[in-house]
């Protein structure tokens, strides 16, 4: 263990930088620092304490846990290990929770045993508790991959309970009458359970009261009566909104699309897909994942819901596995580190030099990711009791509290991320990949190169190295500010407050929806650790479901893995009107901007109060142009 010494001017500079951060936290003078994550109120007491801890932890990690090569690459503004503040805790980024297993056998959050529920009301309440307990164990988000399948048995239990009660005092009713009434009451109970689930996930806090749990659920393919009933009422409860009609921010909802199940008119769950489109038109969720895209379909086994692709949060995907079953359940991402493609382009005189630099820094990242895994693996299972003793991660329940985590964590993924492909291409060619085919081809070559490096690392290390399209929130501004200080303002490259996320066509570039989908589609296959394509639609789409359907079908055609449709969703705090508000509420005539909630998607999740956005993301949101659907 290193000893703390303050003997060099550089050490003094590092400490001075830390002290400066503390002053900015106390005085609330640095919005970028306080609101790196819009899901955390950085000005609240718990938020402030969290920021103090975060900045201190990052200092410790940089000084004691990172190699010289990694620190130098970070100082050069070329790489960034995400959630650096959680590095020393040894926890992982995220996980797809095996909800069905936990509900069937019960679980313990550390303060008492929760037995298996006997109805859907209890089951949904326990699902909420599982989310909250798990959020305190991981630094990223969490998801439930087969939400409808896992909860369907508890809808059935609810029906049986109600049917038995009705039969006990309705002696003159026929069996058909009893069943009809029992299903009616079961539906009412299920709706109330879904409503409570959504309300709870938008009001409870974790991490010392500083954050709403970052939650996702995947559903849409269960063909049972019970599973269909659950999804129907979950969507209806989402449409209804919160207590004053507010749009629910969590959970992130992901509707899984599959031909033969819900995609075409003759499919048994087609009605649920239509209801999902209506809900998206009102509430921005659900997003849509595509099981039939080749890179998702390769894992699919008919009749096995756990083989269906599942996403979480902004885009994370975990499927391939060289140490066990190839699906999402009970697995997650261990950590990811992003590379600044723009900086690499700015220091390269030509394309050959760019790829030389890219290869060099990816090698540094690969080693850093593996070193972080070794640090995580040497932690003990008892340090994360809920994650492992309860079997959140596959095989964790077989460990004792003193067991190391090496074999369990081998099932997770180590991911390289990237930011600023568009600006990188602009620097190298004069155009980004939305503007010309030559730039697009080079962009694909760059991303293919990164994916090949991850595949090679998987073979060399016998680990699941993967490539993710980074969902940059705080990072979109961090990289940019430092590059601007070094290189100045270069048109189309460093002249904005943000870099474009991952492989996306820039938000400010006018392009038709179908062209954007077609150009971004091939990058989804390359980014096997996660990806998303956004389409921005103008105006109120509630009465134009066919346009939404057209966009989703275009995504399916061009092999999008995970897609989302953005459009304005505003609410008047005075009268509760929800829809599109320009300068005046169409219902009450109010004109005070402070009385309007404007729900927008910041990366992959929703935020209704843009005062919690950092300056880079506020600027990016203002530059977003709508993508035409017609023509």
- 338 and 269 both lie in a single domain: no
For every residue of 538-571, DSSP letters joined together read -S--TT-HHHHHHHHHHHHHTT-SEEEEE--EEE
Q: What is the residue range of 240's domain?
A: 95-312
Q: Is 448's pLDDT higher than 70?
A: yes
In angstroms and rounded to an integer, the radius of gyration of the C-alpha atoms of the chain is: 24
Helix 147-169 to helix 225-240 angle (10° resolution) is 100
The β-bridge partners of 144 are: 217
pTM attached to this predicted model: 0.91
Q: For residue 28, what are its two tokens?
A: 């609330």
* Contact in structure between 242 and 282 (CB atoms under 8 Å): no
Q: Is 577's pLDDT higher than 90?
A: no
Q: Is 594's pLDDT higher than 50?
A: yes
- 118 and 200 both lie in a single domain: yes
Instruction: Report d(CA 364, CA 360) in Å as an integer.
Output: 7
Q: What is the mean pLDDT of residues 333-338?
A: 97
Domain assignment present for 540: no
| Residue-averaged pLDDT of the chain | 90
Worst-scoring range by mean pLDDT, 36-45, 313-322, 492-501, 552-561? 36-45
Nearest residue to 554 via CA among 519, 518, 511: 518
Task: From 478, 506, 531, give the residue that closes a domain.
Answer: 531
My answer on whether omega of the bond before 75 falls inside 30° of 0, hence cis, is no
- 144 and 250 both lie in a single domain: yes
Structure confidence by residue, pLDDT tens digits, 54-69: 778 888 898 889 999 9
- 572 and 466 both lie in a single domain: no
Worst-scoring range by mean pLDDT, 114-123, 422-431, 588-597, 610-619? 610-619
Give me the sheet containing 79-81, strands edge to edge: 79-81, 333-340, 413-419, 464-469
pLDDT at position 3, please? 43
pLDDT at position 45, please? 62
pLDDT at position 332, please? 97
Domain assignment present for 145: yes
* Contact in structure between 309 and 256 (CB atoms under 8 Å): yes
Estimate to the nearest angstrom the gap between the alpha carbon of 448 and the chain centroid: 23
Number of domains in the chain: 4
- 402 and 474 both lie in a single domain: yes
Nearest residue to 344 via CA among 417, 419, 249: 419
* Contact in structure between 554 and 293 (CB atoms under 8 Å): no
Q: For residue 68, what are its two tokens?
A: 């010289």
Structure confidence by residue, pLDDT tens digits, 95-151: 999 999 999 999 998 878 999 999 999 999 999 999 999 988 888 889 999 999 999
pLDDT band at 613 (very low <50, low <70, confident <90, very high): low
- 430 and 378 both lie in a single domain: yes
Distance of CA 154 to CAs 21, 99, 120, 191, Å? 50, 12, 5, 13
- 153 and 278 both lie in a single domain: yes
């Amino acid at each position: 263990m290193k000893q703390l010494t303050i003997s060099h001017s550089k050490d003094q500079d590092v400490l001075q930088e830390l002290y400066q951060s503390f002053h900015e936290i106390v005085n609330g003078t640095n919005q970028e620092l306080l609101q790196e994550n819009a899901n955390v109120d950085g000005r609240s007491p718990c938020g402030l304490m969290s920021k103090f801890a975060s900045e201190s932890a990052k200092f410790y990690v940089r000084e004691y846990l990172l190699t010289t090569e990694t620190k130098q690459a970070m100082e050069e503004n070329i790489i960034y290990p995400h959630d650096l503040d959680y590095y020393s805790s040894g926890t992982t980024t995220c996980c797809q929770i095996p909800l069905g297993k936990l509900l069937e056998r019960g679980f313990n959050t550390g303060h008492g045993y929760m037995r298996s529920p006997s109805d859907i009301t209890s089951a949904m309440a326990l699902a909420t508790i599982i989310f909250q307990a798990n959020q305190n164990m991981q630094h990223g988000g969490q998801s439930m991959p087969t939400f409808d399948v896992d909860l369907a048995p508890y809808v059935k239990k609810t029906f049986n309970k109600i049917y038995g009660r009705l039969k006990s005092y309705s002696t003159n009713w026929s069996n058909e009458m009893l069943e009809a009434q029992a299903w009616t009451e079961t539906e009412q109970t299920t709706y109330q359970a879904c409503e409570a689930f959504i309300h709870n996930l938008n009001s409870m806090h974790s991490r010392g009261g500083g954050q709403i749990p970052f939650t996702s659920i995947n559903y849409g393919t269960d063909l049972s009566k019970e599973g269909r009933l659950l999804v129907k009422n979950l969507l209806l409860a989402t449409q209804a909104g919160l207590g004053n009609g507010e749009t629910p921010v969590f959970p992130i909802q992901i509707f899984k699309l599959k031909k033969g199940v819900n995609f075409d008119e003759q499919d048994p769950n087609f009605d649920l897909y239509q209801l999902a489109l209506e809900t998206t038109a009102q509430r921005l969720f659900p997003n849509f994942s595509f099981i039939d895209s080749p890179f998702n379909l390769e894992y699919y086994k008919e009749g096995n819901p756990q083989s269906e692709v599942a996403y979480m949060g902004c885009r994370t995907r975990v499927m391939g596995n060289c140490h066990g079953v190839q699906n999402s359940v009970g697995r997650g991402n261990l950590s990811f580190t992003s590379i600044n493609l723009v900086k690499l382009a700015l220091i390269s005189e030509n394309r050959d030099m760019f790829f030389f630099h890219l290869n060099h820094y990816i090698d540094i990242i690969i080693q850093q990711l593996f070193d972080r895994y070794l640090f995580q693996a040497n932690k003990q299972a008892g340090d994360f009791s809920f994650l492992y003793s309860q079997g959140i991660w596959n095989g964790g329940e077989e460990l004792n509290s003193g067991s190391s985590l090496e074999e369990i964590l081998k099932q997770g993924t180590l991911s390289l991320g990237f930011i600023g492909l568009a600006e990188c291409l602009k620097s190298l060619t004069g155009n980004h990949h939305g503007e010309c085919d030559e730039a697009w081809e080079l962009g694909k070559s760059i991303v293919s190169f990164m994916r090949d490096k991850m595949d090679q690392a998987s073979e060399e290390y016998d680990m699941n190295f993967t490539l993710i399209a980074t969902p940059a929130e705080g990072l979109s501004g961090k990289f940019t500010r430092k590059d601007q200080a070094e290189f100045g303002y270069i048109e189309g490259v460093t002249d904005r407050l943000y870099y474009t996320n991952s492989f996306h066509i820039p938000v400010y570039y006018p392009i038709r929806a179908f062209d954007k989908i077609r150009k971004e589609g091939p990058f989804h296959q390359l980014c096997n650790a996660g990806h998303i394509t956004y389409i921005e639609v103008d105006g109120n789409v509630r009465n134009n479901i066919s346009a939404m359907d057209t966009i989703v079908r275009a995504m399916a055609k061009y092999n999008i893995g995970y897609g989302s449709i953005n459009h304005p969703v505003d609410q008047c705090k005075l009268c509760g009107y929800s829809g599109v508000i320009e300068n005046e509420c169409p219902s009450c005539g109010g004109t005070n901007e402070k009385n309007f909630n404007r729900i927008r998607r910041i990366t992959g999740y929703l935020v209704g109060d843009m005062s919690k956005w950092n300056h880079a993301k506020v600027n990016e949101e203002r530059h977003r142009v709508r993508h035409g659907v017609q023509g």
